[in-house]
Chains A and B, each alone.
Chain A
Amino acid sequence: MILLSLSAAFAQGMPAMHTDDGTSHMVWAYVATAVVYLGYTAFLVVRGHQEKV
């Protein structure tokens, strides 16, 4: 289901206004959220490893 929504969102990009139930906007917002939280965690893990914390 997630993969389906994701691939649909990536395939179509942002849909035209007022024709949809907002699924792809919602998916984009969650993708952005996942990228930032996971990305910053990865940054901290790498930096922490470098600095031997």
Chain B
Amino acid sequence: MNKKLPAILVVVAVVGVLGWLAMGSVGDNLVYYWTPTELHAAGAKAGEATVRLGGLVKPGSVTTEGNATLFLVTDGKDEVKVRTQEIPPQMFRECIGVVVEGTLGDDQVFESKKLLVKHDENYKAPTDSTVKCPDMPMPAKE
């Protein structure tokens, strides 16, 4: 044994605790996306900034309007209408998770500048018929 061991353990413990606190506070204050419920709760504030909205593409809600694609993003409790001028990526479909970057307009339609697909951790063969639309695909982790 080395007499430096206690000092090393103290350094490791301090760094560990600091790291833990730092990451914990990041987790509390900085979320990658807002849920529809949170976006609506933010009210007027949300209308000014570019934000990310995450949720599930509501089944039966995908429509087109000229070059634009419209769909509802839901978190199971609330939903937001999203409009995008992008050609949706290949993974885009009903019931899949999406994260859209853009701004909530005065008409309560979220104008998406970038449509990202957030797929889940299921890896299945095409023959797998257990495709289902979960009620809450993206749990609102704090």
Do any CB atoms of chain A lie under 8 A from CB atoms of chain B in the complex?
Answer: yes
What is the CA–CA distance of A19 and B90 in the complex, to the nearest angstrom?
7
10 contacts between A and B (CB under 8 A): A17-B87, A17-B89, A17-B90, A18-B87, A18-B88, A18-B89, A18-B90, A19-B90, A20-B90, A22-B90
What is the CA–CA distance of A18 and B89 in the complex, to the nearest angstrom?
5
Hey, which bits of chain A sit against chain B, CB under 8 A? 17-20, 22
* Residues of chain B contacted by A20 (CB below 8 angstroms): 90
Chain B, residue nearest A16 (CB): B87
What is the CA–CA distance of A13 and B90 in the complex, to the nearest angstrom?
18
What is the CA–CA distance of A19 and B87 in the complex, to the nearest angstrom?
11
Query: Which range contains the number of B residues in contact with the other chain?
Result: under 10
What is the CA–CA distance of A34 and B75 in the complex, to the nearest angstrom?
41
What is the CA–CA distance of A18 and B88 in the complex, to the nearest angstrom?
8
What is the CA–CA distance of A17 and B89 in the complex, to the nearest angstrom?
7
* Residues of chain B contacted by A18 (CB below 8 angstroms): 87-90
* Residues of chain A contacted by B90 (CB below 8 angstroms): 17-20, 22
Chain B, residue nearest A18 (CB): B90
Chain B, residue nearest A22 (CB): B90
Chain A, residue nearest B88 (CB): A18
In B88-122, the 8 Å CB interface with A consists of 88-90
Q: Within the complex, what minimum Cβ distance (angstroms) separates A17 from chain B?
A: 6
* Residues of chain B contacted by A19 (CB below 8 angstroms): 90
From A18, A19, A20, A22, name the one whose CB has the most chain B CB atoms within 10 angstroms.
A18
Chain A, residue nearest B91 (CB): A18
* Residues of chain A contacted by B88 (CB below 8 angstroms): 18
Binary CB contact string for chain B from 61 to 95 against chain A (1 if under 8 A, 0 otherwise): 00000000000000000000000000111100000
What is the CA–CA distance of A15 and B90 in the complex, to the nearest angstrom?
12
What is the CA–CA distance of A19 and B88 in the complex, to the nearest angstrom?
11
